């Protein structure tokens, strides 16, 4: 079978690798000059910067993505990683000396003594959720199913709570509630919209201290987080090399204009130079609304599928400063990744994002040092630093081109609260606005990270109403994040019934 894949991001590469491994003819078409999508590197004046995932899940040995890649003969060196948090009037930093897996609970109890009992109850709930998660990873024997059912009963009463309700159930202090919901700003999500369970999985204690053991009684129990040594781009490069070695072909610097459909079946694609490529299966990746309105056409979709496209809410964009500096930022930062929050009202912050009002870093930003796990990202004696904020795709009362320099200066000034005199040590600066990322990702609306995780929101399914046309990636049913995207593409391939 001939499989045409539109987009050389992680979803397209994963599907392509599996198809090539099974002997199918694979052609991958991408508008950029190299594979990776948003995990491809940005290179600027001797420095390299990661665009995509910061802390990566599912990639440590024994975890799903790592084990899947091993089946392709791909093994990448990883290093465990964590992140620190800073709020307007307190910081939550990994202790210099290890204080056990629940040091955050104990530290927060000192900051918020009125909520000590609530913290104890929350962490009991946290442990119950993680035990339930662990049991679902085991072979489902009768005994395991019984244990899983009993574990579920312990958390059942919380299952109908959203993140706002859950944190209010446990905590009285608004600032403490924000500790557990602030990360939702990254997803452009309001706590009232998100399943309460999301609070646990976006606040895994292993994300805040890389020294916490991931095993329990000798068995892998907790998920961990990591960086890929040498940079995350090593993953798409390895997948692309696997595809090429199995006969697959890449067509770069090329845009697909149309998916060719005949009698309700995808039969190929038309490129922007009017060239057509016929195939047996077409795999689409990227912005769901753009793909189905421009490349497919709503006339080929069902009303139900169109409704999903109309009601889904993609995330907003990002405004990034990529800096080359002549000081080591880790002299001032305890972790190579720190989230710096400037507010406690997440609902107000989300409202601004969705209505074209950029917070200019006042609501929060993060500092990321990619040269920590990839030293060759910077010349000797220099370091790569990224200042990252979520931002509206389109500004309400201005435009990105005219405001980007002003916004960049303000972010640098804010970052100096953590890295003193940063502005004096900048040697190289590359500003990336949501407009730049629209071009980079070939989207009409910059959406960095996929779909907002609104509870019960439906996303486009992998298998579309058009026969032999699949849709994958961070705006599909598997949602965003490197692990879900790769594992979602793997699952879609396994479910594809190739015509003989």
Give residue-wise pLDDT tens across range 133-148.
Answer: 999 999 999 999 999 9
- pLDDT at residue 480 in the model: 86
SS3 sequence of 206-274: HHCCCCCCCEECCEECCCCEEEECCCCCHHHHHHHHHHHHCCCEEECCCCEEEEEEECCEEEEEEECCC
Sign of CA dihedral 109, 114, 120, 123: negative
- Give yes or no for a contact between 448 and 315, defined as CB atoms under 8 angstroms apart: yes
Q: How far apart are CA 429 and CA 321, in angstroms?
A: 7
Q: How far apart are CA 43 and CA 49, in angstroms?
A: 6
Residues of the chain under the 50 pLDDT cut = none
Tell me which DSSP letter residue 363 carries. Answer: S
List the structure tokens of 106: 């104990």
Q: How far apart are CA 300 and CA 466, in angstroms?
A: 7
- pLDDT at residue 326 in the model: 98
- pLDDT at residue 441 in the model: 87
How many separate helices (H) and strands (E) can be counted in the chain? Answer: 15, 22
- Give yes or no for a contact between 248 and 3, defined as CB atoms under 8 angstroms apart: no
Query: Which residues does 98 contact at the CB level (< 8 Å), separation at least 6?
Result: 209, 211
- Give yes or no for a contact between 365 and 340, defined as CB atoms under 8 angstroms apart: yes
- pLDDT at residue 53 in the model: 62
Q: How far apart are CA 140 and CA 453, in angstroms?
A: 28
């Amino acid at each position: 079978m001939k499989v045409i894949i539109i987009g050389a991001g992680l979803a397209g590469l994963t599907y392509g690798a599996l198809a090539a491994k099974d002997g199918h003819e694979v052609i991958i078409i991408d508008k950029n000059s190299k594979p990776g999508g948003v995990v491809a590197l940005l290179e600027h004046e001797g420095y390299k910067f990661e665009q995509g995932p910061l802390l990566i899940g599912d990639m440590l040995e024994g975890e799903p993505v790592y084990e899947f890649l091993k089946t392709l003969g791909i093994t990448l060196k990883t290093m465990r990683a964590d992140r620190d948090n800073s709020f307007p009037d307190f910081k939550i930093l990994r202790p210099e000396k290890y204080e056990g897996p629940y040091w955050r609970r104990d530290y927060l109890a000192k900051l918020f003594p009125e909520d000590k009992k609530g913290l104890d109850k929350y962490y009991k709930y946290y442990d119950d959720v993680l035990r339930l998660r662990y049991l679902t990873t085991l072979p489902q024997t009768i005994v395991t199913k019984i244990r899983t059912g009993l574990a579920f009963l312990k958390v059942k009463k919380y299952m109908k709570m959203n993140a706002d309700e859950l944190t209010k159930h446990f905590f009285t202090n608004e600032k403490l509630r924000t500790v557990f919901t602030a990360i939702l700003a990254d997803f452009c999500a309001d706590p009232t919209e998100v399943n309460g369970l999301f609070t646990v999985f976006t606040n895994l204690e292993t994300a805040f201290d890389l020294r916490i053991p991931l095993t329990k009684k000798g068995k892998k129990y907790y998920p961990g987080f990591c960086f890929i040594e040498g940079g995350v781009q090593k993953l798409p490069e390895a997948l692309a090399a696997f595809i090429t070695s199995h006969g697959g072909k890449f067509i770069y610097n090329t845009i697909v204009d149309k998916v060719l459909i005949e009698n309700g079946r995808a039969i190929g694609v038309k490129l922007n130079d009017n060239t057509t490529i016929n195939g047996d299966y077409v795999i689409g990746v990227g912005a769901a609304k753009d793909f189905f309105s421009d490349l497919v056409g709503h006339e080929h979709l069902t009303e139900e599928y169109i409704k999903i496209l109309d009601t889904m809410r993609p995330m907003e964009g990002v405004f990034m400063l990529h800096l080359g500096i002549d000081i080591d930022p880790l002299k001032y930062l305890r972790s190579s990744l720190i989230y710096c929050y400037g507010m406690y009202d997440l609902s107000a912050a989300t409202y601004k994002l969705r209505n074209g009002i950029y917070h200019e870093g006042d609501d929060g930003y993060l500092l990321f040092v990619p040269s920590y796990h990839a030293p060759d990202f910077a010349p000797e004696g220099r370091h790569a630093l990224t200042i990252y904020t979520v931002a509206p795709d389109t500004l309400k009362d201005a435009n990105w081109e005219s405001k980007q320099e002003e916004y960049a200066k303000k972010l640098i000034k804010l970052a100096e609260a953590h890295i003193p005199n940063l502005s004096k040590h900048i040697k190289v600066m590359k500003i990336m606005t949501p407009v730049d990322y629209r071009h980079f990702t070939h989207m009409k609306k910059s959406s960095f990270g996929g779909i907002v995780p609104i509870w019960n929101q439906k996303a486009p399914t992998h298998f579309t109403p058009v026969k032999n046309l699949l849709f994958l990636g961070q705006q599909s049913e598997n949602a965003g994040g490197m692990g879900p995207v790769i594992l979602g593409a793997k699952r879609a391939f396994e479910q594809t019934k190739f015509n003989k």
